[in-house]
């Protein structure tokens, strides 16, 4: 098995070939599910299934936002998901191009407009989303910058933030 930047290149190549030939689905749904909590455990509990099993996660809000402060809030999970997705995209692109990365660190965040969230004023809820990437490599800086630009376009999380992706909310209601 050939690994570059800790990614299995053979598996990536096989998956790409299978999608290209129509032997694997061209679309994939990534899903999670959860429910609101009515205890001091936190506010929301969810689970995510993956090939190796299932993980349960709990989100909360800090006390000043009505929660207990026992777990990260949903936006923190969103930011973590975004930087993990961006890092995976960047490192996969680098591996596929044969660029060895010696060290990769990423920080990210979003700037929330609390006045809009608390309905004090109208305006965008999120003003900005950002990532800061720290890379050490023996490759030329111009190659690393090209990888960054390509990750900006190909990272699913970055794409979702940068483009108007259709959103739908459906309701199942039971009166009790």
Distances from the Cα of 59 to the Cα of 33, 34, 68, 70, 74, angstroms: 13, 10, 10, 8, 6
Give the pLDDT confidence of 14-43 residue by residue, as tens digits. Answer: 999 999 999 999 999 999 999 999 999 999
Domain end marker among 49, 72, 95: 72
Give the pLDDT confidence of 62-103 residue by residue, as tens digits. Answer: 999 999 999 999 999 999 999 999 999 999 999 999 999 999
DSSP H or E stretch at residue 110: strand 101-112
* Closest to 86 in 3D by CA, of 164, 147, 18: 147
Domain of residue 156 covers: 73-162
Dihedral sign from CA coordinates of 35, 39, 43, 46: negative
Residue 170: inside a domain: no
List the Cα angle 84/106/54 in 5-degree steps.
20
Residue 56 and residue 37 in one domain: yes
CATH number for 115: 3.30.300.20
29: tokens are 């749904």
Residue 6: inside a domain: no
């Amino acid at each position: 098995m050939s690994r570059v930047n800790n990614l299995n290149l053979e598996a990536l190549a096989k998956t790409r070939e299978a999608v290209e030939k129509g032997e694997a689905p061209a679309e994939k749904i990534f899903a999670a599910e959860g429910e609101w909590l009515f205890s001091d455990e936190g506010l929301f509990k969810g689970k995510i299934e993956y090939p190796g099993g299932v993980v349960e996660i709990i989100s909360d809000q800090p006390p000043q936002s009505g929660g207990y402060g026992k777990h990260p809030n949903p936006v923190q999970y969103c930011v973590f998901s975004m930087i993990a997705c961006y890092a995976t995209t960047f490192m996969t692109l680098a591996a596929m191009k044969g660029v060895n990365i010696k060290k990769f660190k990423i920080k990210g965040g979003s700037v929330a407009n609390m006045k809009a969230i608390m309905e004090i004023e109208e305006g965008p809820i999120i003003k900005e989303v950002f990532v800061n990437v720290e890379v050490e490599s023996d490759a030329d800086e111009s190659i690393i910058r090209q990888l960054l630009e390509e990750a900006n376009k190909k990272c699913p999380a970055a794409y979702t933030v940068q483009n108007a992706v259709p959103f739908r909310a459906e309701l199942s209601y039971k009166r009790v």
